[in-house]
């Protein structure tokens, strides 16, 4: 099951699984059968969208029945035209028969009006209507719906027979149109620049998810996940954790926050290959990095900050100036190359990281507000 799919020019997020659809159909079948008993109904599916629903419904129905289809249309792209055209009419003799319409989805009710117009002219015994999906927010017609499988908000959905300009009908799960783009920021800066402090402030201000590579590693190792076990083996040997493991951990976190407004990536990416992997992953979800925001602070000031922090942090590498400067060399030789990567995409934003926490936050917000 994919979290995000692309159909034509639009992206859709996973919304509902086949398991819930099956349960809804079983409930509909039970209700219809309880009402009709031994009577042999004629089930009529509304094409094209209902074909999968009708097939599964009929397979579940425990008594004799007949099935046929009519074809009506009111959608173009992702919006209803408001005009329903009868494309294929009925040829069966329905005199004194109970007819049960099987609809894939009812939203505005325009199609439903046409259905009642058609069957009001026929000498049937009774007409009942069952729909798999129903959008109560937009249904404005004073017409009965006898059986409802799943009520959903006013979202454009595809899958399980429903399409977007012809695509998506074959999907077994339901996906909803992705309408809001995320705000995805890479927060960057050398050791001691204050990324963690600012990330905690900004995530609350903009309702974003803060993803720290260090936190991800610790959580996976603590919870003894499969990725955590693999990462620990490398770390115990003093080796760097491979990019492939790191990106899989990050993907897992992002996928768990499907409805998030965006992410602040702190400590990732560290290399060009990681940045490329992140871009590829986000592109698959119809997203992108909006910008790399870097706190720029003179190195001597940072050394002084870290030495001061070392008095209380308990970290040995915060207490020796030589070790601190070695960390900066590592940063400049391996990680700062990302500045060039994001500058080439016009996504690099350097921020003066000297001042009070409030002053630096305000500078960062001025950039965040542009995304």
Q: pLDDT tens-digit profile of 128-185?
A: 999 999 999 999 888 899 999 999 999 899 999 999 999 999 999 999 997 767 899 9
**334/30: higher pLDDT:** 30
CA–CA gap between residue 104 and residue 209 (Å, rounded): 36
Task: Convert the pLDDT of each residue in 263-320 to its tens digit.
Answer: 999 988 988 889 999 999 888 887 889 999 999 888 888 878 778 777 776 667 667 7
Phi, psi of 302 (to 5 degrees): -65, -40
Q: Which CATH architecture has domain 183-368?
A: 3-Layer(aba) Sandwich (3.40)
Closest CA to 105 of 75, 68, 60: 75
Provide the pLDDT confidence category of residue 335 given band limits of 50, 70 and 90. Answer: low
**75/212: higher pLDDT:** 212
The pTM of this model reads 0.58
Catalytic residues: 195, 270, 309, 315, 327
Which residues sit opposite 295 in a β-bridge? 351
Which pLDDT does position 43 carry in this prediction? 97
Most confident of 307-311, 336-340, 357-361: 357-361
Which pLDDT does position 21 carry in this prediction? 97
For domain 4-177, is the CATH number 1.10.150.20? no
Which pLDDT does position 87 carry in this prediction? 47
Per-residue pLDDT, averaged over 13-40, amounts to: 95
Task: Convert the pLDDT of each residue in 339-353 to its tens digit.
Answer: 889 999 999 999 999
Provide the pLDDT confidence category of residue 255 given band limits of 50, 70 and 90. Answer: confident
Structural domain boundaries in the chain: 4-177, 183-368
Per-residue pLDDT, averaged over 7-25, amounts to: 92
**E strands in the chain:** 4-7, 10-16, 42-47, 66-76, 79-88, 98-106, 126-134, 147-151, 157-158, 174-177, 183-188, 209-212, 262-266, 291-296, 348-352
Per-residue pLDDT, averaged over 5-32, amounts to: 93
């Amino acid at each position: 099951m994919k979290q995000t799919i692309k159909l034509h020019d639009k992206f859709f997020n996973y919304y509902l699984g086949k398991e819930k659809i099956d349960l809804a159909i079983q409930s509909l079948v039970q209700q219809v059968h309880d009402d009709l008993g031994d009577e042999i109904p004629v089930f009529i599916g509304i094409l094209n969208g209902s074909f999968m629903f009708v097939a599964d419904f009929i397979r579940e129905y425990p008594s004799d029945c007949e099935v046929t289809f009519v074809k009506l249309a009111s959608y173009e792209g992702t919006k209803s035209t408001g005009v329903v055209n009868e494309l294929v009419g009925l040829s069966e003799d329905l005199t004194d028969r109970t007819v049960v319409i099987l609809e894939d989805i009812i939203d505005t009710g325009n199609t439903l009006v046409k259905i009642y117009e058609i069957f009001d002219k026929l000498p049937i015994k009774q007409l009942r209507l069952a729909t798999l999906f129903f959008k109560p927010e937009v249904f404005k017609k004073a017409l009965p719906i006898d059986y409802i499988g799943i009520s959903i908000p006013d979202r454009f959905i595809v899958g399980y027979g429903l399409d977007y300009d012809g695509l998506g009908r074959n999907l077994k799960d339901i996906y909803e149109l992705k309408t809001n783009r995320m705000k995805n920021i890479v927060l960057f800066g050398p050791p001691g620049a204050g990324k963690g402090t600012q990330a905690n402030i900004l995530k609350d201000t903009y309702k974003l998810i803060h993803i720290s590579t260090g936190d991800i590693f610790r959580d996976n190792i603590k919870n003894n996940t499969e990725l955590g076990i693999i990462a620990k083996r490398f770390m115990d040997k003093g080796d760097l954790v491979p990019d492939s493991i790191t990106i899989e951990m990050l993907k897992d976190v992002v996928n768990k926050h499907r409805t998030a407004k965006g992410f602040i990536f702190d400590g990732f990416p560290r290399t060009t290959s990681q940045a490329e992997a992140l871009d590829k992953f986000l592109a698959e979800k119809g997203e992108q990095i909006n910008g790399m925001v870097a706190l720029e602070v003179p190195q001597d000031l940072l050394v002084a900050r870290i030495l001061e922090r070392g008095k209380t942090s308990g970290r040995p590498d915060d207490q020796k100036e030589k070790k601190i400067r070695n960390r900066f060399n590592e940063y400049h030789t391996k990680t700062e190359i990302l500045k060039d990567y994001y500058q080439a995409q016009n996504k690099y934003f350097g921020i003066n990281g000297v001042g009070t926490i409030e002053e630096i936050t305000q500078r960062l917000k001025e950039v965040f507000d542009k995304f």
